[in-house]
Amino acid sequence: MICEYFSALKFQFNYMSQKLCQKTFSRIIIYNNKLIFKKKYTKIRLSIPSYQFYLNIPVYDNPAIFRRKTFICQSFMINRIHIIVMVNENILKKVGIASFIMMASVFASRVIGVFREMAIANFGGIKAGVDAYQIAFILPEILNHIVASGFLSITFIPIFAHYLSLDREDDGYKVFSIIMNGFGLLLFCFILITMMWAPKFVHIFAPGIQDPDTFALAVKMTRIIIPAQFFFFSGGLLMAVQFAKEKFFIPALAPLIYNLSIILGGLILGPFIGMEGFAWGVLAGAFLGNFAVQIIGAKKLGARYYPIINFTHPDLIKYITLTLPLMIGLTMTFSTEILLKFFGSYLNEGSIAAMNYALRVMFVLVGLFGQAIGVASYPFMAKLAQKGDFFELNRLLNKTMKFIFLVIPFSVLFIVLSHEIVTILFQRGQFDARATLVTAGILPFFMVGAFAFSAQNIVSRGYYAIQNTLFPAIFTSLCVAVTLPLIFLFMKTMGAKGVALGLSLSVIIQAFVLFECWNKKSLNTEKKEVYLFFLKMILISFTIGSVLFISAVGLRNLIDHSTLLGSFTIAALIGIEFSSLFFVTGFMFKIQEILILYENINKRLFPWMKKPH
């Protein structure tokens, strides 16, 4: 019987109901996690676990390795059974396609997010009302962190993907429903509690606020924003289902709809109720983008919901085990948001607003490189981890890290043009020249750590892919705790600039130490190339930055950079100079990552110029 050979390949199927014999099936093809039996023109497809069979195939003849299109094929003879194993070589290509979808989404979201900040800046400048609006996000963000809404794609995908690999999709949706119902009920209770005790919580997390009107406004907007966390949680699960099935388009719409709703809320309601209009926009955006649209996307894939609660289900326990460290741990992005507002509450009025504007500009780069690539590459990392293929996992991680380090030259460009960027984006309405000067002075200190925010995002996902959420959670929490005195010291000596610098140094230390720990754990033999590439980017960035700085000083002597037109002209000229220098550097020194970046940009901007095959 052929079944005895299946056991050698570790196929986790129940073949008791299928009596398959050698005479019936003489050829088997395994391709992309699918088992295909061929008899004349009939095909039977059955899902199998991710390539676990590959490690234990008994080889009776020498494998004949050959290439066929984009696949590496290996041919074996197991007794009289001819088996061909076809391993898809296009995983990096898939990551690239998914990354482009997410990068386009994140970039569009960041652009709309900048317009959102522009609307807020125009309406409130760097005054107390904007400080109150930013403080109102502290409690909702903590609540979101407690139920790990931001980590659902990380913790839920491996569990759900396992059911998909076993062709038990219906059971996967039952686990989906159990998590949705159990944690949704818990979150609902938290929402009620935090809404009732909002004043006490706001006082704890923003103790430096002394103005009673600012405090009252912060409490009021906190209560408006808190219910949005339910939509973030449930929508996060719905998006995780789509990610597990390698569908990215509809989840990519969520941040776009969210930010547009905030802008519309401020523009429509702002003239009547002030900054509260933006808070109502947050609630509407969370419902529409993160919940309503995602229901449509998940239903298109056949998602099913069951009204069941089972707190003893083994996969719920596994989910809690994976998620608990993320609940109690402090991620760098989360801690940055909270610490910025905590320390900013002790500074002058408007300091929180100014730091937030600068942080949002920095997050444009972080989102474009780190977040987008991280979200898109994680499902593929999870698959490689499930196979136990650390060589390919390290290869993917190292390649991704090199592309992440391309953030460094762009950060230098933002540092050189900090005044022009802030002028172009924010200087209008209530955001005057003084606000521009304050925000532009803070921006360079955030840009120093932009690459580390991106890198830390990627390295952490490597740990999450192997379902080790405990170590990065403990490690990042310790890093945050250790650097608190440093941030406090910089705050005392440099004010808001010091807070930005302290947060940047903290994430730089965290990213490199976390990466080195990963290298030791995974035996990453190619880590040296990553470090050398980082040093190369530092040297290139310093050289290009020096040239750009001299050019910018000269242009500012010729053009009035305090005006919108003047700032735009300087930024455009320096941007063209940067693009030229960066490309020439990549071409001269044959830096493939730079050339690939320009090639991809060229393909997207000028698709008709693609070479015919």
Mean pLDDT of 476-498: 91
Two tokens, residue 567 = 């700032």
Distances (CA, A) of 304 to 275, 409, 490: 39, 46, 52
Q: Which domain range does residue 239 map to?
A: 91-530
If we measure between CA atoms, which residue out of 130, 119, 121 comes closest to residue 352?
130
The answer on pLDDT for 75 being more than 50 is no
User: Given 55, 88, 121, which residue is the final one in a domain?
Assistant: 88
Is 472 contained in some domain? yes
Count up the domains in the chain and report the number. 2
Is 12 contained in some domain? yes
Same domain, 192 and 319: yes
- Measured CA to CA, the distance from residue 480 to residue 406 in angstroms comes to 26
User: Given 471, 504, 530, which residue is the final one in a domain?
Assistant: 530
What pLDDT, on the 0 to 100 scale, is given for residue 461? Answer: 83
Same domain, 358 and 491: yes
Is 371 contained in some domain? yes
Judged on CB neighbours under 10 Å (0-12, 13-18, 19+), 463 is buried
Same domain, 29 and 107: no
Same domain, 209 and 344: yes
Is 129 contained in some domain? yes
Is 105 contained in some domain? yes
Kindly report, residue by residue over 95-144, the tens digit of the pLDDT: 555 555 656 666 677 778 888 999 999 999 998 899 999 999 998 988 88
Between helix 198-205 and helix 169-196 the angle, nearest 10°, is 90
Q: Are strands 27-31 and 34-39 parallel, antiparallel or unpaired?
A: antiparallel
Same domain, 344 and 462: yes
If we measure between CA atoms, which residue out of 36, 41, 51 comes closest to residue 83?
36
Three-state DSSP class for residue 209: coil
- Measured CA to CA, the distance from residue 117 to residue 418 in angstroms comes to 16
Kindly report, residue by residue over 61-73, the tens digit of the pLDDT: 333 332 333 333 3
- Measured CA to CA, the distance from residue 249 to residue 270 in angstroms comes to 32
Kindly report, residue by residue over 511-547, the tens digit of the pLDDT: 999 999 999 988 898 899 999 999 999 999 999 999 9
Q: What percent of the chain has pLDDT over 90?
A: 47
Same domain, 185 and 232: yes
Same domain, 65 and 100: no
Same domain, 67 and 111: no
More confident residue, 199 or 154: 199
- Banded model confidence at residue 7, pLDDT cuts 50, 70, 90: very low
The C-alpha R_g of the chain, in whole angstroms, comes to 26
Same domain, 119 and 26: no
More confident residue, 565 or 606: 565
Same domain, 370 and 517: yes
Is 582 contained in some domain? no
- Banded model confidence at residue 300, pLDDT cuts 50, 70, 90: very high
Mean pLDDT of 413-433: 95
Task: Report the side by side order of strands in the sheet with 71-78.
Answer: 42-47, 34-39, 27-31, 81-88, 71-78, 64-68
Three-state DSSP class for residue 38: strand
Using the CB atoms, write b or e for 32-61: b if 16+ within 10 Å: eeebbbeeeeeeeeebbbbbbbbeebeeee
The answer on pLDDT for 456 being more than 50 is yes
Same domain, 62 and 116: no
Is 517 contained in some domain? yes
- The sign one gets for the Cα dihedral 10, 11, 14, 17 is negative
What's 572-590 look like in SS3?
HHHHHHHHHHHHHHHHHCC
Is 567 contained in some domain? no
More confident residue, 581 or 247: 581
First to last CA, the chain: 47
113 within 8 A of 333, measured Cβ to Cβ: no
Residues whose CB falls within 8 Å of the CB of residue 469, separated by 6 or more in sequence, listed in order: 151, 154, 155, 322, 323, 325, 326, 329, 463
User: Given 483, 513, 530, which residue is the final one in a domain?
Assistant: 530
If we measure between CA atoms, which residue out of 272, 314, 48, 374 comes closest to residue 174?
314
Same domain, 195 and 246: yes
